Structure 1
Amino acid sequence: MSLDPTSADRKLDVREIDGEPFGDIMAALGELSPDESLLLINSFEPEPLYTVLEDRGFAYEASNPEPDVWHVEIRHA
């Protein structure tokens, strides 16, 4: 299954970040209003992030639309 990348309110492509993207991801999530979603684009499935998201009250849906591209749509749970 592939997510619709145009359905998210905000987008963060961490492939463009030089270095560890965790701080950028948390900052983007901190700016989300309760009814918005964030599309995270990465070159690999960010499995360690999933526990952090759940612990902070977020739900997510991940897809792998093409090789080396992962989309994770994140919203408040």
Structure 2
Amino acid sequence: MSLESAEAERRLDVREIDGEPFGDIMAALNELDSGESLLLINSFEPEPFYDVIEDRGFTYETATPEPDVWHVEIEHA
């Protein structure tokens, strides 16, 4: 994973989703092939979500490139 270069194969900006984004995030993760990563962009750190994705066999790396913007790069463990 390389958050600095933001080379994720897929991106999902949940700030643009009206309502609860959990279903959209899980659908995007289910579409990931082995070796691909998803860059999740959010307005806050989604700490409770980390346990969920770890339990489902994913790893993640988090960065805050600017105030109130969180990038979480997620890939298969």
TM range (shorter): over 0.9
Query: 1:10: which partner in 2?
Result: 10
Q: Output the TM-score relative to the length of structure 2.
A: 0.94
Q: Output the TM-score relative to the length of structure 1.
A: 0.94
Q: Is the 8 A contact 1:5 1:39 kept in 2?
A: no
Residues 1-77 of structure 1 correspond to what in structure 2 (within 5 A)?
3-4=3-4, 6-77=6-77
Gaps of at least 5 residues in structure 1 are none
Identity percentage of aligned residues: 76
Give runs of ≥4 in structure 1 deviating > 3 Å: none
1:26-64: CA deviation from partner (whole Å, max 9, x where unpaired): 000000001100000000000011000100000000011
Q: CA RMSD in A?
A: 1.3
Gaps of at least 5 residues in structure 2 are none
